[in-house]
Amino acid sequence: MKISDKIRVAVLFGGRSAEHEVSLQSARNVIQYLDPSRFEIVPIGIDKQGDWFLGNDIFTRSLEQNKVPKSLDNDTWFTPEWVGKSVTTTKDQQALSPSLNKQMFDVVFPVVHGTLCEDGTLQGLLELANLPYVGCGVLSSAIGMDKDISKRLAINAGIPVPAYMTIKADQWRANAAHFAALIKDKLSYPVFVKPANTGSSIGVSKAKDEKALFAAIEDAFRFDTKIVVEKSLNNIHELEVAVLESLEPNTDPIISVVGEIKPKGHEFYSYDAKYTDEHGAELLIPAPITNEIKEKARAAAKELFLLLECEGMARVDLFFDKDTQQIYFNEINTLPGFTKISMYPKLMDASGVSYSELLTHLIQLAIKRYQTKSQLIRSYAG
C-alpha cells in the first residue's frame, strides 16, 4: 500500500440478503462521510443474485431504484459462480482483467447486513482474496449471526439469556406436536419465534397461543432451516451498547454509553417499527436507567465482545428485565445499521467518536489487522 496516496476504500453494499435495502441507506451515509482528504471511494453494489457491479454510476442507480439493479452483462465485475471455472469466455476476461493488472482498492468496507454478508461467508471470500476488510473476521461474524450458537457461548460464560429452544426444519416437520407441547410446557406463552440467522426482525414473530405459534414457525422456516423459540420477557428496557476495538495494542475496547430502544405503537421492535414506520420507535441516548444498570450493561457488552472474539466493532443488544432486575443477552450485531441516525454510530457519537472519526478508526483497524496477519507463517518446513 502506498502510504503517501489516499487509501482506496471499496464500499460494498446491497447483497444477497433480506436486508439489501437497509444496506443501501447505510452505504449512502458511509460514502458521504468518509473523510475525502484520506480516502478514495470505490462503490461496489452486490445485487440480489450475488453479482458485483462497480462504480459511482451503479451506486447512484441503486439509490434511485432502492436496490442494486441487474446490470448489463459486461458491467459485472465479479460473480462468485466463476470460482473454480475457467476464465476463457469474453465476459470473464473483461471482468477479471482489471484486478489482475492492478489492485483496484486497498481495503474493503462491507456495509451489508444479514445472511451471506454478515455471517462470515463474505469475510471468508475477502480472506481468500487477501484483502483487508472492516469489522469482524470469519469466526465472530458466523457466531454473531447465529442466535443459537452465540447464546450457547453466553450461557457457557454464565451470562443469562431468555430461556429458549432450537428447532431444525426436519425435526419440526417430523414432530411438530411434540415441540408445540414442549414450548407450552417449558417456555410458556407468549414466545418469540426467530430464524436463527437473520437480522432486522425479518421472520421474527411473537406468538401468544398455539395457533399463532404454528404460523410463526412456518414463517420463520421461510428464512432459515434453524429457528429459535424463546420465552418473551414482558417488562423490559431494550438496551444497546456499541463496542469499538481500540487501535492501541493490549487496550480494552471502547464501550459506548448505553442506549435504549422503545418501540412505539408496535408490540416489539419489528421490521415495520425499525424501517417502515418513521415513528415506530424511540432511540433514547442515554437510556433512562440507573447508573448501576448502565455499568452492568457496559460490562456485559465488553465481556460478550471479547467472549465472541469480535474484531473491529459490534453492537451488543441486551434486555434489562424490570421484574427480575436481571440483564439478559439478546444478540450481537457484527455489521450493525450504519446510517448516521442508526444506533451504533449515534452511541459512538454520544461517547465522543464522531461518525467520520468512527469510519476512519474502523479502516485503520482493518489495515492494522491485515498487517499483523500478513506476518504469520503460512508454510512450515519443520
Ligand X SMILES: Nc1ncnc2c1ncn2[C@@H]1O[C@H](COP(=O)(O)OP(=O)(O)O)[C@@H](O)[C@H]1O
Contact set with ligand X (CB under 6 A): 162, 192, 194, 198-201, 204, 230-233, 236, 238, 268-269, 317, 330-331
Query: Nearest approach, Cβ of 325 to ligand X (angstroms)?
Result: 16
Task: State the distance between the two ends of the chain, measured CA to CA, in whole angstroms.
Answer: 32
Residue 117 burial class via C-beta count within 10 angstroms: exposed 0-12, middle 13-18, buried 19 and up: buried
Query: Nearest approach, Cβ of 207 to ligand X (angstroms)?
Result: 12
Which residue do the cell numbers 464500499 mark? 11
Comparing CB distances to ligand X, the nearer of 163 and 176 is 163
Dist. CA 260–CA 282, nearest whole Å: 8
Comparing CB distances to ligand X, the nearer of 18 and 41 is 18
Comparing CB distances to ligand X, the nearer of 194 and 296 is 194
DSSP run (H or E) holding 231 = strand 226-231
- By the 8 A CB rule, do 14 and 24 touch? yes
Query: Nearest approach, Cβ of 365 to ligand X (angstroms)?
Result: 24
Question: Which three three-digit cell numbers place residue 29?
Answer: 451515509
Closest Cα to residue 176, out of 151, 211, 208?
Answer: 211
Residues comprising the chain, all counted = 382
Chain residue at closest Cβ approach to ligand X: 269
170: left (phi over 0), alpha (psi -120 to 50) or beta: alpha
Query: Nearest approach, Cβ of 310 to ligand X (angstroms)?
Result: 16
Comparing CB distances to ligand X, the nearer of 233 and 353 is 233
Query: Nearest approach, Cβ of 341 to ligand X (angstroms)?
Result: 17
Point out which residues pair with 255 in neighbouring strands: 243
Query: Nearest approach, Cβ of 3 to ligand X (angstroms)?
Result: 39
Comparing CB distances to ligand X, the nearer of 17 and 198 is 198
Comparing CB distances to ligand X, the nearer of 54 and 122 is 122
Query: Nearest approach, Cβ of 320 to ligand X (angstroms)?
Result: 11
Comparing CB distances to ligand X, the nearer of 224 and 331 is 331
Nearby residues of 320 by Cβ (< 8 Å), 6 or more positions away: 236, 237, 239, 289, 293, 297, 326, 327, 328
